[in-house]
Amino acid sequence: MVKIIANREIDVNEEGYLLDFKQWDKEVCVCLAEEQSIPMTEKHWEVVEYLQEKHLKEEPLSIRGIKKSGVINIKEFYSLFPGGPLKKSTLIAGIPKPKSCI
């Protein structure tokens, strides 16, 4: 399905995850974050970049992996992306929902 994000047509699935990572940019990211009521800070951007790197390397993402990453501690991850940090952070990063998220 198509959704208007940042005044552009973006292909998303039924949960709002981008279907084509090439359509992601910082403007789209900010709009996706606003939809989740998340104001992007420097730490949010750091997490988004980490998630995208893992995705591009085709490495699986999980809460346990985030905890071990050294990028962010788990308490801060939950406070930055409340109500489902891995689901929300990957959606904002423009990457598919991890298999570990049901």
Q: What angle do CA 79, 80, 82 make, to 5 degrees?
A: 60
Is there a catalytic annotation at residue 31? no
Residue of 29, 62, 101, 102 marked active site: 101
Contact between 38 and 49 under an 8 Å Cβ cutoff? The reply is no
For 68, residues 6+ apart whose C-beta sits below 8 A from its C-beta are none
**46 vs 83: CA distance, rounded Å:** 19
Residues carrying an active site annotation: 101
